[in-house]
Structure 1
Amino acid sequence: MYRRSLLALAAAPALARAQGFPDRPVTLVVPYAPGGSADVLARVLAPPMSEFLGHPVVVELRPGAGGNIGAAHVANGVRADGHAMLLGSISLATAPALQAISFDPLRDLVAVAALGAVPSLMVVSPDSPFRSLGDVLAAARARPGEVTFGSSGPGTGSHLAGVLLAAQADVEMTHVPYRGSGAVYPDLIAQRIGFLLDGMGSSAGQVTAGAVRAIGITAPERSAQFPDVPTLAESGLPGFEFLIWLGFFVRAGTPEPARQRLEAAVLHALSLPGVQEKLRQSSTMPLPPTGAEFGRWFAADVERWQGLVRQGKLARLE
């Protein structure tokens, strides 16, 4: 059903085609290091997008500052003509709340289309007494501040997921940051920390290998890969959702026909069975795909993180 919807959207009239867009290669800026999920997925989508547009889509890596360097380049440093796109992530929503940046994502960028999102698994040591989210929350309420959760560093997805969980459950838990997700697992397994909320791209393999035990997932629905793992929403936190998302943006002021043409190219690529299989393998789930739908979803995500800062439940990093 999702693929049929994408095919219909991609086949919609492409106004910009008649106006000769694009007339040269399109640069797809990935603001993260080589080999990461954003880089890998960008290179999966670039060839079918190139074929659709009739010009190459060239992946350009501009890593640094948690994605803000590449994002600022597209927001402030390129012509607003559609020949440069950004593959942005959740950091676009969290950065304005957490730190000073040189651009305003809602003012300076316009959504083209969503790529998808990866949920996180709530994992514990195989020997942990925590068998469910309810166990974790009961312990946190009985002993405020004593339940700990690890992360791969301040401001990372695993940190933000833990903060969001504590805020929505109205409990006090202690954040223990590490340098990268690989450093967290030994302490998690040894029960030196209580739990970890880690993206399925890295946590699923640990669960499958039996190194850790999954007690919840941050998606709105259960995962086909782990059908026995309940969502956190059904485990005592109604409406809870945390997704590490990816989506395409252009600089504000880009002509709407050009944005529509890029949107159609993305939706065409996402409709292909081979691309959908790659997304499935990377645990990527669909989001509202069109620029209009994704733009509204993105704006709500920005507001969610800014609201947590205003409420004093999330501290700025500076």
Structure 2
Amino acid sequence: MTRPTEHAPTLRRRSLLLAGVAASAGAAPWVAAQAQAYPSRPITLIIPWPAGGSTDRHLRTLAELASKHLGQAITVENRPGAGGTLGPSAMAQTAKPDGYTIAQFPLGLLRMPHMQKTSWDPLNDFTYIIGVSGYTFGLTVKADSPYKTFKDYIEAARQRPGEINYGSTGTGSSPHLLMEELAGNAKVKLVHVPFKGNADLQAALLGGHVMAQSDASGWDKYVDAGQMRLLVTFGEQRTQRWPEVPTAQELGYGVVSTSPYGLAGPKGMDPAVVKALHDAFKKAMDDPKHMEVLAQLNQAVWYRNGEDYKKWAGETFAKDKALIERLGLAAK
């Protein structure tokens, strides 16, 4: 009977090591092939607002255009809640970083962690893909409202503290914070009523359940149809579409807000997949049909590549911490 030599275990270990190296070498082309094959099935885009609002209208058009460049359908999933942070944060924590689930990244994601404890980090739990646009915010009332001007609305709040309300798309959202900042500057007390998104908010205003709505320009069709009155906008200049409406800044309230947003995926995405998504959405952004929708919503292009978008997010995260603390909304 032949005895095993004392070198046999060493030889076996060496064989296993070489097999592992060979497997790794073989895996590299496979991973590259997977990236090159992307996308091989439909992509899901999470819009964290109900269907029918301005963001939904915009991103559905953009997704349709981008899908033509990707060669795969982009399915929109509306997942509203928590001021636009519910859908994207759930994606960041549960979706695979394979490029088949992406989401809008609203500004609220950079503010919510300052206002309450969150299980996600806006800077480290996302892959930034592309910056897209920003909003035109405004305050609207029903056409038969007694408030003919923004001054009328503020004067009512001054005379009846704690009785004049407005709705927004959620606590911590830009429409909420800009009104809180304005109320502080005007030294009045307004009652905030949060909603899940634009569509619910618009229905509440038209139904007489709130006195005013602070929102992005999803109200455009109601204003143009004479169902709502636009009292003020929050850009640096008056809008081209409603040039007769003053800005909050020119009225002396010192508030300017456009709340830029873009698209992001879970952390750890393959750079080749990120590039494929970026390039497809950039081409979609340049499409005349996309520019037409932006014009309808009175929104401007806000293009940033993934690297610049992440840098902007870091700077904004730090800056908005100071704003939230000043408004007394910081987590205790």
Which TM bucket (shorter chain)?
A: 0.7 to 0.9
RMSD after superposition? 3.5
Distance in 2 (CA, whole Å) between partners of 1:151 and 1:20 is 46
CA displacement at 1:56 relative to structure 2:
0.9
The residue type equivalent to 2:245 in the other structure is V
3-state DSSP class of the match of 2:304? Answer: coil
The residue type equivalent to 1:232 in the other structure is A
Residue matched to 1:313? 328
Q: Please, which runs of 5 or more residues in structure 1 have no aligned partner? A: 1-15
Does residue 290 (structure 1) correspond to residue 305 (structure 2)? The answer is yes
Closer/same/farther in 2, CA of residues 252 and 56 from structure 1, 3 Å limit:
same
CA displacement at 1:96 relative to structure 2:
1.9
TM, length-normalised to structure 2: 0.72
CA displacement at 1:249 relative to structure 2:
0.6
Closer/same/farther in 2, CA of residues 26 and 73 from structure 1, 3 Å limit:
farther
Closer/same/farther in 2, CA of residues 304 and 28 from structure 1, 3 Å limit:
farther
Preserved CA contact (<8 Å) 2:180 2:327: no
Distance in 1 (CA, whole Å) between partners of 2:119 and 2:78 is 16
Residue matched to 1:112? 129
CA displacement at 1:231 relative to structure 2:
2.0
The residue type equivalent to 2:288 in the other structure is P
Residue matched to 2:221? 205
Does residue 252 (structure 1) correspond to residue 267 (structure 2)? The answer is yes
Distance in 1 (CA, whole Å) between partners of 2:166 and 2:33 is 49
Residue matched to 1:184? 205
Which runs of at least 4 in structure 1 moved beyond 6 Å after TM superposition? 16-19
Q: Percent identity?
A: 21
CA displacement at 1:185 relative to structure 2:
4.4
CA distances 1:285-306 after superposition (whole Å, capped 9, x unpaired): 2224333343344344434543
Q: How many residues matched?
A: 292
CA distances 1:145-200 after superposition (whole Å, capped 9, x unpaired): 45734114651554333113224x26232214265422234548xxx84x542322
More moved, 107-116 vs 146-155: 146-155
3-state DSSP class of the match of 2:276? Answer: helix
CA distances 1:239-270 after superposition (whole Å, capped 9, x unpaired): x2223544101222223343233222111101
Q: Which has the larger radius of gyration?
A: 2
Residue matched to 1:218? 234
Does residue 235 (structure 1) correspond to residue 255 (structure 2)? The answer is no
Preserved CA contact (<8 Å) 1:42 1:59: no
3-state DSSP class of the match of 1:242? Answer: coil
Q: Please, which runs of 5 or more residues in structure 2 have no aligned partner? A: 1-31
Closer/same/farther in 2, CA of residues 269 and 61 from structure 1, 3 Å limit:
same
Preserved CA contact (<8 Å) 2:137 2:233: yes
